[in-house]
Amino acid sequence: MMVQNKTFELIKRLPKAELHVHLEGSVTPEFWKHLLEKHCPLDPIPSLDELQSRFRYDSFQGFIDVYRDIIFSFRSPHDFYELTQLYLKNAVKQNIRYVEMMMTPWFIIRQGIDLDELLSEIDRAAKEIEKDSDIDLKLIFDGPRNFGKEIVQEVFNMAAKDRTGRVIGVGLGGDEKNYPALLFIDCFDYARAEGFNTIAHAGETAGAQSMLDTIKLLKVSRLGHCLGIPRASELESLVFEKGVTLDLCPLSNVATRAIASIEQHPMFEYLQRGYPITLNSDDPGMFTNSLTLEYETLLSLHAVSAEQLGQLSKNAVQGSFLNKTTKNRLITEIEQVGQDFGQ
């Protein structure tokens, strides 16, 4: 028990990177209530208990329904200033040093919010936190695949209009069963030609074939969720051959019922197989979790060594889109914490 308690302390001290987290999914019940009170003062506002009850989901679609209602609660660019600050303040407390934050601006722009103003407010919020803390925020625009190729392309076009320098990549989320990777080849070819890094959700609800097609057709650097990789399969070989980082979100998968229980999640098996996995909170406000809790959950369930925890942190840095110099600096810091911990 003493060794495990010491290892929990290591989790707090490790410099960490988070690569799979959605800005809109950082909304807590308290923040949602704040938005409703701010923008709908004359309407009956649900109680905090009522909003909290909506953050318990009976299916992936149930989660999407709540996500949609939250999106409709945003009415001004300043809302995203506040939300960015909320996430980053929590991230600093967890010793998260680098974040690649996903967001889907198409939903926001449809409500009449200007893209430049939206990004300017996110940038302003991030600069204020970065000024006083050792953390760096970048953005990845996520294309909503279930709205079709044209809308995904529109989101990627928005990424090309960024004036803040925050947007470094694009991705693909949503219904992978009915909107497979094949439909979006041209969009991803365009994104790479524009100099963007590319990622995609795959294997969250559609299994191994979805992941295989996404790597082959969309040529992504990272996959999000990645449930169901068969041992000694073509998919496993391709992950190693292409160096594809696997961004796992265990507590998210339980919350959305993608898996029945946390004990069924393959995170430890993947770690033992030597896959380049990372841990991530996905939608920390909506799932009442955090990156630190993801690490602690892994440690609580499995006999994870201090070296393996350090490797998870290094995987996130190595799988990020940081430049080589910054990667090397962070990896050196992670290794130093590990050495100090072992003394």
Q: Which residues are catalytic?
A: 204
CA atoms within 13 A on the CB side of 155: 27
Task: Enter the tokens of residue 95.
Answer: 């010793």
Cβ neighbours, 10 Å, residue 192: 14
**Residue of 70, 167, 155, 73 lying closest to 122 (CA atoms):** 167
Task: Enter the tokens of residue 205.
Answer: 């609800």
The pair phi, psi for residue 138, each rounded to 5°, is: -125, 165
Task: Enter the tokens of residue 231.
Answer: 């041992």
The C-alpha atoms of residue 301 and residue 290 are separated, in whole angstroms, by: 17
Angle in degrees, CA 320, 326, 332, rounded to 5:
100
Q: Strand 277-279 to strand 222-225: parallel, antiparallel, or no bridges (unpaired)?
A: unpaired
Angle between helices 2-13 and 291-301 (to 10 degrees): 160
Strand partners, 170: 141, 198
Q: For the CA atoms of the chain, what is the radius of gyration?
A: 19
Task: Enter the tokens of residue 177.
Answer: 């069963």
